[in-house]
Structure 1
């Protein structure tokens, strides 16, 4: 049984929580059946971090509606905790906001993506380093995952390696040495959760779409119609626990 400390970095919209649960539920549903138990810390609400990650097999951080472009004290504390955990031999995986926070902790800039929000089922491509990385063992060079984010890591910080990207976001996955990985996409999100996330943001998505030249009422139906299964997500999460711990 793997013991994972999950750092919860935000709350899903109320309509999302009512239909498909909150962020931590998606990690539990993806990994618990394979022999994983979670301790969940609501770090965005000021939950006290332990003195160390000793006793845990891994540390993970969720996504968040909050932004690393506006750092808060709890973000600094959580970033330091994750870096320290890896320094003491405990693997760390950051997802979306967690990925960005890890990059920030290593000296990268996190910025609003000039290409616009990425949301829905998307295709990501591994580069040579990604094809060789154990996080993506058994994953196709081009794979489908769910994504939702406005911010991106501008470029890999010194000492980190880009593993994957796509046309919207060139830094979709990063390796920070042997024990820290970050992914911009959401391996824990399944199609039903992606649908709930799109519907929760549909008014904002329509405003953004018209500003970028889409016809009114076009973008949200197109996003919903494009939702597809993303089995690579669960494989990536399983790889992290099996290959890094």
Structure 2
């Protein structure tokens, strides 16, 4: 650490530095774990152990324990009997519930944002999409953490234009619970191919620029629904395979 010089006139070292509050470290740990979950850095079913996370974050176990407790209360994680926590498993019921909530609330945010979006906003949205397309072209599926962050930037730029401080935290909570689902959907998309990841984003921009609320909400619904539909298809396939195995067992 650099030494603080006493030579500056009027400089009081006691006023310049203050102890880092315990809550500050807790908030930073929570924010980092929360961001990792939102951006799909963990798979469904991953067990998160306090000691391991503390070592990776280079901190004590206390702020990690408290951050995990907050994330459990937000339903982003679930407690296990051995005092560990895990990313919730993906079930058909949870999948349908999250999809329904996201389409409902985020669709309302798009409708609220539409009259407030400016030419400058559209330029930002288009550039974000271009950046995402370029990332895929240059790095392929190995750039998932970057494209996830760009996807979040795209959506929340629209949502902030809705000017609803009440709904934004609700959407953040839904994204927090959806991170592992989007991660799994991305893996399935990589295996199966299909539409470009930004295809529905471009359709959404076109609808917003045309001030077509119905088409904009439908484009958003298509965007959200694609990820959830990919996993529904995988779950249905696994269920059918299990049924066949039992029938031939």
Q: If the length of structure 1 is used for normalisation, what is the TM-score?
A: 0.24
Question: Per residue, is there more helix in 1 or in 2?
Answer: 2
Whose Rg is larger? 2
Q: If the length of structure 2 is used for normalisation, what is the TM-score?
A: 0.24
